[in-house]
Amino acid sequence: MLKPIEKVDTSIKKDIIINNIMKSKGVYLLVSNPKVGKSMLALQLSCSVINGTPFLEQKVNHSPVLYVTTESDAGQLKERLEFLELSAKNDSLFIIDRQTKANISLRDIEYDIKVFAEDYNGKLIILDMLKDIDFGVQYDINNYQDVAQQVFPKLRTYCDKYNVTFLVTHHLNKTGKTLGSVALDATVDGRITLIENKSNKRYVKLQTINRDFPELDIQLKKLDNLIFQKINSIEDDELSYEMTSFIKYVASQKEIDFTCTDIVLKANIPMSPKRFGRLLNSSLELLESEGVHITKCRTADSRLYHATFIEPSQNEDD
């Protein structure tokens, strides 16, 4: 007998924590330079998993989270959540801090991990940060064998024993690579890297390398409350650093004629003239809303622009 085609199930698979980023029973690194915001991103990720809401537009499977913090205490972590304007369901976010100890021993918190996994069906554990975790073995972070045969096998044991996934935060070195032995990258299931825009720290690129998923390259913007928001590109974002610099310069001059080569030099815009030209032409409506009105004309050897600044409030009155 003929049967109608069933509706395709687009729900996320059960063995995935975050689609395209993290699978069950895996070990992952979250790395960046200091002060970029990896702990804030880890908290944002935690609340997405806890509440079952998408993380940077990627679907998640709901799970409680055990957050092991070595750089903050539980009270400070709660204050961060309030500042981020994040909330977690009751009995879903569990916090372990150092409580004045030099580090946190995995052996000492194994019972907590067991309760988290077995009593609360928790799947995700965040270790923030790697350098302050006692794995119960002596190791040199720059030694390949130590990292590959001593450190991460300990985490794999917990993954298999309690059916949990670990996300471990760590630093990048001065060359932009994971600090320590290359074994750190080689032995994990995936690495999430945050790269800060040197011209404007509000913008951060998130890149993933993963055994189970295709690589991701996501452009993020840090909002005023330090939440990371996905944007299509810096060029498409409202009031990028480059556009803000341009608007300020035009406002100071009131009326100017310029080429793209002229303006990137005079307004100190960290962008090539060609790229600025593309950004300028895609932002004409945005510029008008900010009081900058652009007309274009082409000369024999260049493209000339005329910019006039009128206070936006006057535009609104019109």
Evaluate if residue 278 carries a pLDDT over 60: yes
Instruction: Express each pLDDT in 178-189 by its tens digit.
Output: 999 999 999 999
The predicted pLDDT at position 238 comes to 62
Return the biggest CA–CA distance within the chain: 77
Q: Cβ(171)–Cβ(33) under 8 Å?
A: yes
Q: How confident is the model at residue 151 (pLDDT cuts 50, 70, 90)?
A: very high
Cα–Cα dist 122/117, whole Å: 5
Helix ranges (H only) for 103-255 are 110-118, 144-146, 152-162, 183-186, 241-253
| Alpha-carbon span 82 to 20, nearest angstrom | 28
**Residue whose C-alpha is closest to residue 52's, from 129, 112, 127, 123:** 123
The predicted model gives 251-264 an average pLDDT of 94
What is the radius of gyration, based on Cα positions, of the chain?
24
The two tokens of residue 82 are: 């309030």
Of the pLDDT bands very low, low, confident and very high (cuts 50, 70, 90), residue 2 is very low
pLDDT number for residue 1? 46
Pairwise CA distance, residues 239 & 5, whole Å: 47
Distance from C-alpha of 296 to C-alpha of 273, rounded to nearest angstrom: 16
Helix axis angle for 110-118 and 152-162, nearest 10°, is: 30
- CA pair distance 128, 97, nearest whole angstrom: 10
Confidence of residue 235 (pLDDT cuts 50, 70, 90): low
Output the CATH code of domain 16-231: 3.40.50.300
pLDDT tens readout for residues 120-150: 999 999 999 999 999 999 999 999 999 999 9
Instruction: Return the bridge partners of 168, or none.
Output: 29, 127
Model's pTM, two decimal places? Answer: 0.74
**What does the pLDDT average to over 169-175?**
95
Fold for 241-317, please state it: Arc Repressor Mutant, subunit A (1.10.10)
pLDDT category at 281 given cuts 50, 70, 90 is: confident
The residue among 188 and 287 whose pLDDT is bigger is: 188
Q: Where are the domains of the chain?
A: 16-231, 241-317
Instruction: Supply the pLDDT for residue 25.
Output: 96
Structure tokens of 177? Answer: 């690579």
Secondary structure of residue 47 in the 3-state scheme: helix
By mean pLDDT, which of 11-15, 77-81, 142-146, 265-269 is the weakest? Answer: 11-15
